[in-house]
Amino acid sequence: MTTKIAFIGAGSVVFTQGLLADIFAFPELKNAHIALHDIDAERLRTAEAAARHIASVRGAEPQVTAHAERRPALEDADFVINIVQIGMGEATRTDFDIPARYGIRQTIGDTLGVGGIFRALRTFPHLRELGEDIKEMCPRAWLLNYTNPMAMNIQYLTQATGLTRVVGLCHSVYWTMRDLADLVGVPFEEITYRAAGVNHQAWVLQFERDGVDLYPKLDARIAEDEQLRRRVRVDMYRRLGFYPTETSEHSSEYVPWYLHHDSEIERLRLPVGAYLGIVEENVADYERTRAALAAGQPLEVEGTMEYAPQIIHSIVTGTPRTVYGNVPNNGLIDNLPAHGVVEVPCLVDDAGVQPTRAGALPPQLAALNRTYLSANDLVVRAALEDSPIRIRQAAMTDPATAAALPVERIWALCDEMAKAHADRLQPALRARLGS
């Protein structure tokens, strides 16, 4: 039986390429049906050409179909990979430019803070429609989400649509552990690790080789390297006792301690507005890919070690694996809200994705995660309740925003952001409330 994998937002061509390179590397998936969907016709054509090229290089013979409409792509799919970015670069620039005028500094702006809040709110209508289509067109499919803000999106999807075969995927834990292994001079294959928390703010709870704690080796490396100490995640580790699983740029946005202070930006070398450069690089990468395909030039075909292809292979073949997934808590982490979305190790085989219980986090870590999840919950409630006041309350709760602005300015900022993104928000959320 042929496995059908639908890519929603396939016009994110470079990311789609990496996932396909991984998928076609598995012999059992070389004949899969790859259904590509995007609303941008040019990007969809490019994605289709890239898929066929990668299949040829990998020696695969998939069925590749391209769909301007979502429902035909979803029909009878076994897996749905969501990689959309609503509003693309234009909306992202708005997420940075307007808050900057109010004195809000952001580095990435896709997970929490003002940028994360409005990225979520303009993504939620898409997620509701996607969820309803999945229930009708492929109710047994697994939805594998890569779109940020991860935790908000998964909470909204599960609460708004009732879907249960949903998992959010992020590579931050994997690459953090690769980096830590390199820092302490131990081969990655020889370390044992366990992490848990929330997306982009999970924590390395176990870091060992042969049962021996590697944290002392990390402490020694940090003590001897001043440049390491000039990173946010290292600063957080030294004060909290556990290493965070996301980059310093990301980590700085979820706490009130860094971005509001010029001295901390300098000390910790924080690149304010960094994501705008990444957006430009992504566009340039797409243009190079499109031009190469049009000219018949070879493309690099490299695997990404992303979780989605591994999950698909494990479910199709029964091969057991452990990945990190973002799922509703429901008791997985004792001292975080049950309805919040947490990131924990998940077992995967032909029974599907099975989250594992992490128990209680150390209290200082849970305290930070609870604030993060509280802001998330208010954003999700804003959409579920059609309540514009919840947007303002979410921004007031957000640590970095609260550190930078008084409440009247927070409300004024939300008014301006709602106006700027109005066409992409559900109607009730476009209201201006004043300060």
Tokens representing residue 355 in the block: 């989250």
Q: Where are the alpha helices (DSSP H) in 268-405?
A: 274-294, 307-317, 363-384, 388-397, 399-404
In terms of Cα–Cα distance, which of 311, 306, 355 is closest to 142? Answer: 311
DSSP line for 176-228: HHHHHHHHHT--GGG-EEEEEEETTEEEEEEEEETTEE-HHHHHHHHHH-TTG
Active site residue 171: yes
Coil vs helix vs strand at 353: strand
How many angstroms separate the CA atoms of 410 and 295, rounded? 50
Pairing of strands 79-82, 192-198: unpaired
How many angstroms separate the CA atoms of 12 and 169, rounded? 16
Q: Do the Cβ atoms of 298 and 324 come closer than 8 Å?
A: no
Tokens representing residue 273 in the block: 């507005």
**DSSP 8-state code for residue 109:** -
In terms of Cα–Cα distance, which of 157, 171, 165 is closest to 127? Answer: 157
Q: Do the Cβ atoms of 432 and 409 come closer than 8 Å?
A: no
| Number of residues assigned to the chain | 435
Coil vs helix vs strand at 349: strand
Coil vs helix vs strand at 64: strand
DSSP-based helix, strand, coil % in the chain, nearest 5: 55, 15, 30
DSSP bridge pairs for 294: none
Q: Which of 33, 37, 171, 250 is flagged as catalytic?
A: 171
Residue 368 Cα distances to 116, 371, 375, angstroms: 17, 5, 11
Torsion on CA atoms 268, 269, 272, 278, rounded to nearest 10: -120
Residue 360 Cα distances to 196, 315, 364, angstroms: 10, 29, 11
Cis peptide before 149 (omega within 30 of 0): yes
Please name the residues in contact with 363: beta carbons below 8 A apart, sequence gap of 6 or more: 335
Give the catalytic positions in this structure. 171
